[in-house]
Amino acid sequence: MEEITEEGLKLRTGEGLATRDALLKGELQGVAVRRLISNSSKESYPSEKEIFYTFFLPKDIQRLVGEITYDTLRVDGKEREVFIAFGEGNFEASQVLKGTEHVVNIKKKDLFPKNSGIVLMDIHTHPGDFFNLPSTVDLANFITYARHIPVMVVSGSTGGWLLLKTAEFFKTNIPQDSKSLYKELKRDLDNAEKRFMRKNSRYTFEDFESFQASFLEKYGIMFFKSEAYISGCGTIGRRPILDEIPEQRFEHILPKYREVTPEVA
């Protein structure tokens, strides 16, 4: 994949406002999402019913996920983040941004494309040996500040997770105050996590994944986990994504804890 310049990720001014509004409504990302998960050329944004429960990422994207995951887990323990754009039928990668052990600082204006298509994916890594799922910060950011980005991938030592917005997500109202909504969502999710843990004191890793899937489902977002896959053998369990081999198949996580998640604001 070619690399997008830093300038290529900045928000357009003037005539770009119409593009920004269309992105916030999910009107321009349909082709990109379909090409990513199914290689379809349809233009409409896919609804939940149209999305397969298992799929593979393109090999060059999995390779990129593997590279930044390797650097985080094996080199220095620092988070990394990269964006994937889609334009003129091709996927393109931004420069890799390096952060601290806990965060990569991204400016809101840098999440919008300029001349290199639309930003399709946010990929970032989590260091640590266990329980490095998407955080409450990740989930609240993805729903609010990153409303225009259809896909987020979080990668760590226990594998990868993929969050995919459906057409149903973009039918919700565009927030007038993303900052206030972010704070509200994060507070509600933190409280929901506490309720979940109280009611499920012996919860497993898979239980917590299902809890997060239950929260995301209410916002029209599907949640997937990665499993290493070998042709002819099938899936061989959870592995960190460190290269393009073995392939990683993303499988939908069934929401089972709807009663402890907050209602949609």
Note every long-range contact of 151-154, with CB atoms under 8 Å and residues 24 or more positions apart, other chains counting.
Answer: 151/33, 151/36, 151/84, 151/120, 151/121, 151/122, 152/121, 152/122, 152/123, 152/124, 153/57, 153/65, 153/121, 153/122, 153/123, 153/124, 154/124, 154/125, 154/126
> Which of 50, 231, 46 shows the shortest CA–CA distance to 151?
46
Tell me the residue ranges of DSSP E strands in the chain: 3-4, 54-56, 80-87, 90-94, 97-98, 118-125, 151-156, 159-165, 221-230, 234-235, 247-252
Q: Which pLDDT score is estimated for 12?
A: 37
Q: Which pLDDT score is estimated for 20?
A: 79
Strand partners for 118: 86
Going residue by residue through the chain, which has 265 residues, state the pLDDT in tens, using 9 for 90 and above.
Answer: 444 444 444 433 334 667 778 888 999 999 999 999 987 778 899 999 999 999 999 999 999 999 999 999 999 999 999 999 888 888 988 888 898 888 888 765 555 545 557 889 999 999 987 678 999 999 999 999 889 999 999 999 999 999 999 999 999 888 888 889 999 999 999 999 999 999 998 999 999 999 999 999 999 999 999 999 988 888 888 999 998 888 999 999 999 887 665 555 4
Q: What are phi and psi of 14, to 5 degrees?
A: 65, -110
Q: Which pLDDT score is estimated for 17?
A: 66
- Contact of 195 with 219, CB cutoff 8 Å: no
Q: Which pLDDT score is estimated for 23?
A: 87
C-alpha Rg value of the chain to the nearest Å: 18
The model's pTM: 0.89
Q: Which pLDDT score is estimated for 251?
A: 97
